[in-house]
Amino acid sequence: MGYLIAIAIVTFTIMMMSKIWRVCVILFWRPYAMTRHFRKQGVIGPPYSLVSGSLHDIKTMMKDARNMVMDKHSNDITQRVLPHYQIWSSLYGERFLYWYGTEPRICISDVELAKEILSNKFGFYAKPKTRPSIVTMIGEGLAIVNGVEWVRRRRILNPAFSMDKLKVMISRMAACTISMLEEWKKQAIETKEKSKKIEMTEEFRELTANIIAHTAFGTSFVHGREAFDAQTQLHKHCVASNSDVFIPGTQYFPTKSNIEIWKLDRKMKKSLQCIIESRLQNSQSDCSYGDDLLGVMMDTEKTNDHGSKKLKMNEIMDECKTFFFAGHETTSNLLNWTVFLLSLHKDWQDKLRQEVQQICGMEIPDADMLSKLKMVNMVLLEALRLYCPAIQLERVASQDMKLGNLIIPQGTCLTIPITMIHTSKKYWGEDANEFNPMRFINGISKASNHPNALLAFSVGPRNCIGQNFAMLEAKTVMTLILQRFSWSLSSDYEHAPVNNLTLQPQHGLPIIIKPLQL
């Protein structure tokens, strides 16, 4: 008996010692060894602080930046959105090492290296582990899975985004937009001035939510809205906790915030389940679930013709969450910033209106007309450059890697600051911070001195699957607005772009709209 107790004590002691050793490695040894490893290669950065790494500094800099209001004509948003990158790159150079808690991160703002990371076909630069609250919000879907699982899902989902499928959706995008614009007009003509102040961020959030619900999920509006509302509230929780140190396991504690997250997650799942069940009941006569994204995903439940395993019900729910989030936050921000830029650059607003009138008249645009709107396209690209909805990209080295002349140890996270690259004079020339859509006259690859300097939709195998969807949607919405309204910036607008997982106007975007025909 005594013998057994002795074995148990020894085993327990060994286990405890190994755990303590692991904690010591993570807290002390790795930061020391990594700092030395990168210093030898000429990469330095802010000092590591125990447990919090550089997070405390990041939080302080972000807080200060949030209190700053910019001149509305300034597009130099890095100082407000990624203040730590701007400060550290000026102190330590273009590449630097910092600490996200105990996790080492290297900032890479060289486009050639960024391309090398993003184009790796073997998945050696994987998506980093996502915080549990964010996984709950966006689902364990295409945007965060890695390896063979990602290959399987991308293969299944790609057909839903083919141009043929997307073209059919334009009329539905237009119908959602027109119903919003009719309301604007009604409100404007009721006023004495025949104009109306509109809070664009809310209108566009609502519109893009409607569009993704109708086009991608062809769903009943009520359940779609419920799912969106729950996701929007989850989003607020994620933004609030994103710059805090995350301690693994704490997601299971019944804290006030976790209880709220669980409640919202249940609500979202219930709404999605209702949408899917109603689709199951209404399957079409040819036994297909429809041509839209949900239909394609659900069809894989029955068919298995490309040799890849079909999507299970819970995976479909995860992908729905992913597309709800990725499909409307980003596009609504693209619309916000395009309207903002055109309110300051009235000459461009007039030029685009002329182009729209020439090509579409007052008709609802179709795919052919949209493809001819060259200037609208150029302005959208310039808006994506200056006010890119995705602020930075992250990858983690899944094995030791050679990147340019750098040796990157396994587990190092690499961050690519899109906002900084998009306004770098090194790539875009002296007018990098200015609004100049003409730079895109010969296409994206010729707009800068590096063909991949525009990273709005990323590059390589994990680029944005929804980019054609987003561009068709943005062009449709802008065309319909340009046909019907002129607009200017309201005097109470405060220029304060903020990083809320995507780039948003912190205090909203009040715009005065005037119908062109009363």
Of 342, 416, 318, 340, residue with least CA distance to 119: 416
Interface with ligand HEM, residue 334, by CB under 6 A = yes
What six digits make up the tokens of 133? 């609250």
Strands, E, within 382-516: which ranges? 392-397, 401-403, 406-408, 413-417, 485-489, 497-500, 502-505, 510-515
Binding string, residues 452-491; x marks residues near ligand HEM by CB under 6 A: ----xxx---x-xxx--xx---------------------
Say how many C-beta atoms besides its own lie within 10 A of residue 81's C-beta: 22
Gap between the Cα atoms of 315 and 141, Å rounded: 7
Q: How far is the CB of 503 from ligand HEM (least distance, A)?
A: 9
What six digits make up the tokens of 168? 């059919």
- Touching ligand HEM, residues 178-217 (CB under 6 A): 216
Of 403, 408, 439, 404, residue with least CA distance to 422: 439
For ligand HEM, give the closer residue by CB, 264 or 470. Answer: 470
Report the Cα–Cα distance between both ends of the chain, in Å, rounded. Answer: 94
Q: Going by C-beta distance under 8 Å and a sequence separation of 6 or more, which residues neighbour residue 90?
A: none
Q: Which amino acid does the sequence have at 472?
A: L
Q: How far is the CB of 441 from ligand HEM (least distance, A)?
A: 21
8 A C-beta contact, residue 408 and residue 402: yes
Interface with ligand HEM, residue 327, by CB under 6 A = yes
What secondary structure, in 3-state letters, does 418-438 show? HHHHHCCHHHHCCCCCCCCHH
How many chain residues touch ligand HEM (CB under 6 A)? Answer: 23
Could you tell me how far CA 352 lies from the centroid of its own chain?
Answer: 27
What secondary structure, in 3-state letters, does 260-323 show? HHHHHHHHHHHHHHHHHHHHHHCCCCCCCCCCCHHHHHHHHHHCCCCCCCCCCHHHHHHHHHHH
107 labeled binding residue: no
Gap between the Cα atoms of 435 and 417, Å rounded: 20
Q: Which of 109, 120, 231, 331 binds ligand HEM (CB under 6 A)?
A: 331
Q: Going by C-beta distance under 8 Å and a sequence separation of 6 or more, which residues neighbour residue 320?
A: 139, 217, 227, 272, 275, 276, 294, 297
- Piece in contact with ligand HEM (CB under 6 A), picked from 26-34, 58-66, 319-327, 422-430: 319-327
Interface with ligand HEM, residue 268, by CB under 6 A = no
Interface with ligand HEM, residue 352, by CB under 6 A = no
Q: How far is the CB of 81 from ligand HEM (least distance, A)?
A: 14
Interface with ligand HEM, residue 389, by CB under 6 A = yes
Q: How far is the CB of 105 from ligand HEM (least distance, A)?
A: 14
- Piece in contact with ligand HEM (CB under 6 A), picked from 13-21, 260-268, 328-336, 367-375: 328-336
For ligand HEM, give the closer residue by CB, 143 or 198. Answer: 143
Residue number, nearest CB to ligand HEM: 466
Q: How far is the CB of 436 from ligand HEM (least distance, A)?
A: 20
- Touching ligand HEM, residues 95-154 (CB under 6 A): 142-143, 154
Q: How far is the CB of 499 from ligand HEM (least distance, A)?
A: 14
For ligand HEM, give the closer residue by CB, 435 or 457. Answer: 457
For ligand HEM, give the closer residue by CB, 232 or 490. Answer: 232
Could you tell me how far CA 410 lies from the centroid of its own chain?
Answer: 26
Q: Which helix (H) or strand (E) holds 86?
A: helix 83-92
- Piece in contact with ligand HEM (CB under 6 A), picked from 88-96, 295-303, 386-394, 491-499: 386-394
Say how many C-beta atoms besides its own lie within 10 A of residue 190's C-beta: 9
For ligand HEM, give the closer residue by CB, 107 or 326. Answer: 326
46: left (phi over 0), alpha (psi -120 to 50) or beta: beta
Q: How far is the CB of 476 from ligand HEM (least distance, A)?
A: 13
- Piece in contact with ligand HEM (CB under 6 A), picked from 97-105, 302-310, 329-337, 360-368: 329-337
- Piece in contact with ligand HEM (CB under 6 A), picked from 19-27, 308-316, 323-331, 342-350: 323-331
Binding site for ligand HEM (CB under 6 A): 142-143, 154, 216, 322-323, 326-327, 330-331, 334, 389-390, 393, 456-458, 462, 464-466, 469-470
Binding residue numbers:
464
Binding residue numbers for heme:
464
